[in-house]
Amino acid sequence: MVAAVASLWALPALAQRQVEITLTAAPTRMALIPGATTEIFTYNGQFPGPTLELREGDRVTVHFRNELPEPTTVHWHGLHLPFKADGSPFHPVGPGETYDYVFTIRPGTAGTYWYHPHPHHRTGYQIAKGLYGAIVVRAADDPLKSIPEQVIVISDNRFTADGAIDLPASLSPQGTIDQENGREGDVIFVNGKVMPTLTIRAGEVQRWRVINASAARVYRLSLPGHKLLHVGNDGGLFERPVELDEIVVANAERVELLVRGTGAPGSTTALQSLPYDRYIPQTRPPTWNAPRDLLTLQYSPEPAVASVRIPTKLRTIPVLDTAQSTATRVMVLTQGMINGRMMDAARVDVSAPLDATEIWEVENLVGMDHPFHLHGFQFQVLDRNGVREPFRSWKDVVNVPKHGSARFIVRYASYSGKWMFHCHILDHEDHGMMGILEVKPSQLTKRN
C-alpha cells in the first residue's frame, strides 16, 4: 500500500480509479478446431484471455493465481511499470501460488498492449497452450474516442490428428525447424476463432487494434479495395495518421488502424496476410508465399452513412533527443544469441543509471528477421537499415530485418530494476536469445 501511494506522488490529479482484477491461469479443454477438443491453458477460462480495459491514471492490482502444473508469470507487454510487476523470469509464480501485480497506468500510456507468460524457457510452450490476452489503455482526451473499435488478436497454432496442440520434441525434424524458424501453425486464429466475421456499415469508420500474438508468424495485412489509415503503434497514437495499402506486423507488435467502410452495402471482403519472407531459405516453409485470409469483413445491407471526420492531429509525442544520449549499446544478433552469448540470469549485460537516455544499435548478422523487444520502457526508432524512421512513434518491439539493422533511443524513466531484452520469436527467446539491462538508482541522476 505504501508503494502505491508513493508512486501516485509523481502523477497529476487525474481521475484515479483503483482497479482490482482477478486472473487465474488453469488447464481447460475446449473445442478449437472441427471434430476434436484440445487441452489448453486459459486465463479465467477464456481463450484468448479477457481483454483488460484500463485508463491512464488507474491504480491496478491484478490478483493472479497459478493453477497450472508448472511455474509461470504474467508479463504486461509494453507497459511501463515497476520491476516487481513486470512478470519477467525473475519473479516466477509456482503451481498453486498467487502473486499480486501492482502498478499505475502512467499518463501518455494510452494504446494497445497484451499480457502473456514469461517464465524461463517455457514462454513459447505456455503461449502455444493459449495464454495471452489484450490490454486496451484509454486516455481521457482520446481524439478518436467516438469511433467504434475492434480488438483483433491474431495468433496461429498447429494440431495433431487427435486435436492436441502439436509441440514436437526439440530434436525431432519438425522440432528442429521450429527452433530455427520459430514455431508456426497452419491454423490462424483471430480472437480465438478461425475466419470470424466482422461487420461494418458502408461509410462507417472503425478503429482496429491489432495484436500479433504469434510465436513467429509475421502478418503483412491488407484489406483488398481499402486503404488503411495507420494511426498508432505499440505505445499508442502517432501525431498524424498515415495512409497505407498494407502493413507488416511482426511478433508482439501492435498497430492501430482506421478502416473506412468504402465498400458497397451488402458486399464482403477479407482481411488478408500477404507473403512476407522473414525466413532463412533452407527452412522457409513451402507455403510461405500463399496469401492467407484472416477474417471476413461483411458490409451490412443498410445504405451508407456519412463518414466521421478523422482528426489530422492526434497527439504530441515528445522527442527523445539524440544529443541527450550518454551511451550507445551495440547488440549483435546471431542465430539464438545476442553479442555471442545466451541468457544468464546471474549476468547483467547492460548497466545504466535511472533516467539515462541511450541509443541502442541492433545489428542482425543472419539471414532471417528477429523482432527485438525491450521490457519496461517505450522507445523511439531512429532508423532501420540506415533509413531514417519517417515519423515518431512509441515502440517496444522493432523488427530487425535479415542482414539489417535498427537504431532506437530510449530513456530509462521512473523505474530501476532488471529488464529483459530479447528476440520475440518465442523459440529463440526460450533458447536464450535474451539479455538483461540493469537500471540502477544513482546519486548522479539526482543532479539532473
Q: If you ran DSSP here, which 8-state letter would residue 93 be given?
A: B
Exposure class string for 150-160: b at 16+ Cβ within 10 A, else e: bbbbbbbbbbe
Only one residue has cell 528477429, namely 370
Residue nearer to Cu ion on the CB measure, 118 or 428: 428
Report, in Å, the least distance between residue 423 CB and Cu ion: 3
Specify the stretch interacting with Cu ion by CB under 5 A; choose among 73-81, 209-217, 221-229, 428-436.
428-436
What residues does 397 pair with on adjacent strands?
A: 373
Count residues binding Cu ion (CB under 5 A): 4
Specify the stretch interacting with Cu ion by CB under 5 A; choose among 11-19, 36-44, 64-72, 424-432.
424-432
Specify the stretch interacting with Cu ion by CB under 5 A; choose among 28-36, 91-99, 108-116, 419-427.
419-427
Q: How many CA atoms lie within 13 A of 312 on its CB side?
A: 0
Report, in Å, the least distance between residue 152 CB and Cu ion: 24
Report, in Å, the least distance between residue 425 CB and Cu ion: 4
Residue nearest to Cu ion according to CB distances in the complex? 423
* 343-372 footprint of Cu ion as x/- string (CB under 5 A): ---------------------------x--
Report, in Å, the least distance between residue 251 CB and Cu ion: 9
Specify the stretch interacting with Cu ion by CB under 5 A; choose among 91-99, 132-140, 388-396, 427-435.
427-435
Residue nearer to Cu ion on the CB measure, 204 or 430: 430
- The DSSP secondary structure of 99-166, one letter per residue, reads EEEEEE--TT--EEEEEE---TTTHHHHHHTT--EEEEEE-TT-TTTTS-EEEEEEEEE-B-TTS-B-
| Cβ(439)–Cβ(416) below 8 Å | yes
Of 79, 382, 406, 425, which one interacts with Cu ion (CB under 5 A)?
A: 425
Report, in Å, the least distance between residue 406 CB and Cu ion: 13
Reading the block at residue 110, the C-alpha cell is: 494510452
What residues does 165 pair with on adjacent strands?
A: 159
Report, in Å, the least distance between residue 422 CB and Cu ion: 8
Identify which of 133, 132, 131, 124 has the alpha carbon closest to the alpha carbon of residue 167: 124
Is 213 one of the binding residues for Cu ion (CB under 5 A)? no
Q: What angle do CA 235, 236, 240 make, to 5 degrees?
A: 125
* 5-34 footprint of Cu ion as x/- string (CB under 5 A): ------------------------------
Residue nearer to Cu ion on the CB measure, 373 or 428: 428
Reading the block at residue 189, the C-alpha cell is: 486464429
| Cβ(231)–Cβ(241) below 8 Å | yes
| Cβ(181)–Cβ(283) below 8 Å | yes
Tell me whether residue 262 is exposed, middle or buried, using C-beta atoms within 10 angstroms of its C-beta: 0 to 12, 13 to 18, 19 or more. middle
Of 102, 423, 436, 437, which one interacts with Cu ion (CB under 5 A)?
A: 423
Q: If you ran DSSP here, which 8-state letter would residue 295 be given?
A: E
Residue nearer to Cu ion on the CB measure, 81 or 250: 250
Residues 233-292 within binding reach of Cu ion (CB under 5 A): none
Q: Are strands 219-222 and 268-274 parallel, antiparallel or unpaired?
A: antiparallel
Report, in Å, the least distance between residue 321 CB and Cu ion: 30
Of 428, 432, 434, 435, which one interacts with Cu ion (CB under 5 A)?
A: 428
* 369-408 footprint of Cu ion as x/- string (CB under 5 A): -x--------------------------------------
Report, in Å, the least distance between residue 368 CB and Cu ion: 7
Number of H helices, E strands in the chain: 5, 30
Question: What residue ranges bind Cu ion (CB under 5 A)?
Answer: 370, 423, 425, 428
